[in-house]
Chains A and B, each alone.
Chain A
Amino acid sequence: MSSSIQVEQVHKTFMKPTGETVHAVGGIDMDLRPGTFYSFVGPSGCGKTTMLHMIHGLLPPTRGRILLDGDEVVGPTPNKAVVFQQALLLPWRNVTDNIQFGIENDRGMSATERREICDKYTQIVGLRGFESHYPHELSGGMQQRVNLARALAVNPEILLMDEPFASLDAQTRLLMQEELQRMVDWKNSGKIVIFVTHDIEEAVFLSDVVFCFSFRPGTIMKEIKVPFPTPRTLRVKEEPEFLQIKHDIWELLADEARKAMEE
């Protein structure tokens, strides 16, 4: 089973309680194919999170539509999972129970299987030994890793990640970039991964396709294909072609970032 997603002329306008409106997403088209890793990069406030949430069905588009295998997305479904930008851990659950949050309603899964999955992802995100810790006893980076493990545990066909590595230290971040490729293995499993990040190098390193967002209202300025075969090792980051792509995206986004700063 593998799914594809069509985003057709999607707009999102927020209405604040004061009556003010914010045009966050301004007409986006995307054709997302199975077995592909996509990144969203763009200035802060350009609608990346909003777009991600609309794809999951957490927010309805104001205009346009989003199709998953030809059917309009009307709400979250168990074949999609989000790593939220804020860790959003339940303070009253320890690490294991937080990781388990998304799979405890899966009736096809026995308690032991569930346990094994939790153990596996606890291990992968490097939280062995912290199973019974509560969120307030974890560092920001550790909380973010629980957030990541919670989504991975669902083993979704469509994995939506909103700056999942933002609060990790530089070393862990590099390790996780490599590790993520092994963990999710989207090529062979036919998954779609969407990864939001501010780190252009990270986006290019991980992605098959990088979507560059313009400043608000967010539109796709450019869709850049990254030709390197996957899985990649960190050495790829030194290749001239990699540096060239990174540089091109930088140039493209610099102007938009300036607009964002001037707001």
Chain B
Amino acid sequence: MGALSNFYQEQRRWLNAIFGIGVVAAFWSFADWQVNSELFFVGPWRVVTYTYGLFASGEILDDLYISGIEFFWGFGVAAFAGIAFGMIFGISRVFREFFDPWLSAVYATPSVALAPLIIIWFGVDLTAKIVIVLITAVVPIVLNTYTGVLSVGKEFQTLANSFCIPQRQVLYKILIPGSLPYIVTGLRLGISRGIVGVVVGEYFGAYAGLGYQLFKGLDTFNMPLMMSCAAMLAGTGVVLNQVILVIERRMAPWRDSTLQE
């Protein structure tokens, strides 16, 4: 008894997560059994085997590659530009006041509304999708980075000033480490929004990609394909979020004890 409850305490996070997945999978299977039509619904096991089939036959690899490229470049540029601009926003009040309305406007505009314009400007090829991912992902990164910079207490500026630390060094000795938690939040939001961007971009004309396959499934009444693509998109989001969290734990050991809560 004691050993078992100890085991549960130690592995609690995983056990609970697995249990949660199991419960949902059970309901999902039950619903599938009730609906009993692959045209409308497929169960979790079918999604797994179908996805496996897509990989085994190799037919999905191209799409994964294309979507991957779109996301990689779009999000990569968004991360760099977002953090850089966020820093400038945080440091320069004039800059902030000048561009804040635009930032809010882009943030409030759904990517679906911008995508058609971008497709027209950049064509149906990769560039357009990269731009769509970039634009959707960059805003939360900018916003969070600059909130982070503002959250770094003025007293730390005073401290740096008092020890004659040059302004240039204040950036990487105070502002960047101080706003790291916010930057991480921004990146995580950026990932989710970037994945949405991939799907939206591929909706408005594409020749390959996970989103493209999803909409192809819609056109061809291929429910397993649609659900499999949706599952892969969701899985990517989960994995990338975990990657960011692991990186943060590595880079920010001083936050360890708070993170574990």
Contacts and interface: CB of A to CB of B under 8 A. Distances in A.
Contacts of B166: 105
A56 B161 CA distance: 10
A258 B20 CA distance: 63
Which 6 pairs between the two chains have the least Cβ-Cβ distance? A92-B177, A102-B163, A134-B254, A92-B254, A88-B159, A76-B162
A101 interface: yes
B257 A81 contact: no
Given A78-B163, A94-B254, A105-B169, 5 more contacts: A58-B158, A75-B161, A84-B162, A101-B163, A136-B257
27 contacts: A56-B162, A58-B158, A76-B162, A76-B163, A78-B163, A78-B164, A81-B162, A81-B163, A82-B162, A88-B155, A88-B159, A90-B156, A90-B177, A91-B254, A92-B177, A92-B180, A92-B252, A93-B254, A94-B254, A101-B165, A105-B164, A105-B166, A134-B253, A134-B254, A136-B254, A136-B257, A154-B163
A230 interface: no
A139 interface: no
Interface size class of B (residues with CB under 8 A): 20 to 34
Contacts of B177: 90, 92
A139 B252 CA distance: 20
Contacts of A82: 162
Contacts of B158: 58
B76 interface: no
Interface string B176-219: 01101000000000000000000000000000000000000000
Contacts of B61: none
B103 interface: no
A233 interface: no
A77 interface: yes
B161 A58 contact: yes
Interface residues of A, number: 24
State the majority secondary structure of interface residues on A: loop
State the majority secondary structure of interface residues on B: helix
A78 B174 CA distance: 19
A134 B258 CA distance: 13
A107 to B, nearest CB: 12
B178 A92 contact: yes
B159 A84 contact: yes
Interface in B148-164: 155-156, 158-159, 161-164
A86 interface: yes
A90 B161 contact: no
Which residue among A77, A94, A135, A136 has the maximum number of chain B CB atoms within 10 Å of its CB? A136
Interface string A126-164: 000000001111000000000000000010000000000
Nearest to B159: A88
Contacts of B159: 84, 88, 90, 101
B131 to A, nearest CB: 35
B156 A88 contact: yes
A134 B177 CA distance: 14
Interface string A5-19: 000000000000000
A94 B256 CA distance: 13
B174 A90 contact: yes
B172 to A, nearest CB: 11
B254 A76 contact: no
Contact of B162 (A58, A90, A105, A134): A58
